[in-house]
């Protein structure tokens, strides 16, 4: 079955860096675009970044442009999010999600369990 | 950016009730509207895609409708496991798929 497992979260000081990973299994990872979505404590869902199946296209929400980098290693079935210059407002649970794009269908059909990033001095 | 507005923000209901949650887009998004359910401490789960298509394995008491700017999620007869937070998501603006702020459904 499809599984997405995030890791790499933790407590980090403002201005520091952190790399999140999302290990995928149960499907052909190299055929799917992938997203990162975050959720601040007690808040809603915010889309963060997208990478298409072969890294040809990458997109970011404005608030992380120039600070976060999304990339993937299809040989390892793993998605990454490298976060630089972290801010207190980046504190959130970070989820990876699979992009389902098929005819009129565009959604996130599988999600990981999330990894908590806390930015605090 | 397309803004998504859900109403109400919270809702109290009883088992067996019929409930409706509304989502409005700031511009027309055709049928590119999805609904997710999130229970406390867990990841969101896809319920409805393309405004009205039921994801595999989701009970038929969940129904989505609408097109353009106005959409609804209806739960025909609430079950105890349905008490959760529900989010709509537009998928018109590829790939920046923004979410509504959520509707928390609580037990009355």
Looking at residue B83, what is its pLDDT?
93
Q: Identify the closest residue of chain B to A116 by CA–CA distance.
A: B41
- Give CA separation, A2 vs A25, A110, B22, B29, B82, in Å: 6, 7, 31, 29, 24
Residue of B38, B42, B94 with shortest CB distance to A106: B94
Q: Identify the closest residue of chain B to A99 by CA–CA distance.
A: B95
- Give CA separation, B88 vs A8, A86, B52, B94, in Å: 28, 28, 12, 16
What b/e string do you get for B53-73 counting C-beta neighbours within 10 Å, with b at 16 or more? bbbeeeeeebbbebeebebbb
**Phi, psi for residue A90 in degrees, rounded to 5:** -85, -5
Looking at residue A12, what is its pLDDT?
98
Residue B76 distance to chain A (closest CA, Å): 23
As given in the structure block, the two tokens for residue A119 are 């930015």
Across the interface, whether the CB atoms of B102 and A44 are under 8 A apart is answered: yes
Q: Is the pLDDT of residue A37 over 90?
A: yes
pLDDT in tens, B24-61: 999 999 999 999 999 998 999 999 999 999 999 999 99
With an 8 Å Cβ cutoff, is B94 touching chain A? yes
Looking at residue A103, what is its pLDDT?
84
Q: Identify the closest residue of chain B to A114 by CA–CA distance.
A: B43
Across the interface, whether the CB atoms of B46 and A95 are under 8 A apart is answered: no
Looking at residue A17, what is its pLDDT?
98
Q: Is the pLDDT of residue B12 over 90?
A: yes
Q: Is the pLDDT of residue A38 over 90?
A: yes
Q: How far apart are CA A100 and CA A110, in angstroms?
A: 9
Across the interface, whether the CB atoms of B95 and A99 are under 8 A apart is answered: yes
Across the interface, whether the CB atoms of B43 and A113 are under 8 A apart is answered: yes
Looking at residue A54, what is its pLDDT?
87
Share of chain B above pLDDT 70, in %: 100
With an 8 Å Cβ cutoff, is B67 touching chain A? no
With an 8 Å Cβ cutoff, is A107 touching chain B? yes
Q: How far apart are CA A50 and CA B104, in angstroms?
A: 27
Q: How many CB atoms lie within 10 A of CB A52?
A: 16
Looking at residue B20, what is its pLDDT?
98
Q: Which of residues 62-91 of A touch B (CB under 8 A)?
A: none
Looking at residue A104, what is its pLDDT?
84
């Amino acid at each position: 079955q499809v599984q997405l497992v995030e890791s790499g979260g933790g407590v980090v000081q403002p201005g520091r860096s952190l790399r999140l990973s999302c290990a995928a299994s149960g499907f052909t990872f190299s055929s799917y675009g992938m997203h990162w979505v975050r959720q601040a404590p007690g808040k809603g869902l915010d889309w963060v970044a997208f990478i298409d199946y072969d890294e040809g296209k990458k997109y970011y929400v404005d608030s992380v442009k120039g600070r976060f980098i999304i990339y993937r290693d299809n040989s390892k079935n793993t998605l990454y999010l490298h976060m630089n210059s972290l801010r207190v407002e980046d504190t959130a649970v970070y989820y990876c999600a699979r992009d389902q794009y098929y005819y009129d269908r565009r959604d996130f059909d599988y999600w990981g369990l999330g990894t908590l990033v806390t930015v605090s001095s | 950016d397309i803004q998504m507005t859900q109403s109400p923000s919270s809702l109290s209901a009883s088992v067996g009730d019929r409930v409706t949650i509304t989502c409005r887009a700031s511009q027309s998004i055709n049928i590119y509207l999805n609904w997710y359910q999130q229970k406390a401490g867990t990841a969101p789960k896809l319920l409805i895609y393309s405004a009205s298509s039921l994801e595999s394995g989701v009970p038929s008491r969940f129904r989505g409708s609408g097109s353009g700017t106005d959409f609804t999620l209806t739960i025909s007869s609430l079950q105890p496991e349905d008490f959760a937070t529900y989010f709509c998501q537009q998928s018109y603006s590829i790939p920046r798929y923004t979410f509504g702020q959520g509707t928390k459904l609580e037990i009355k």
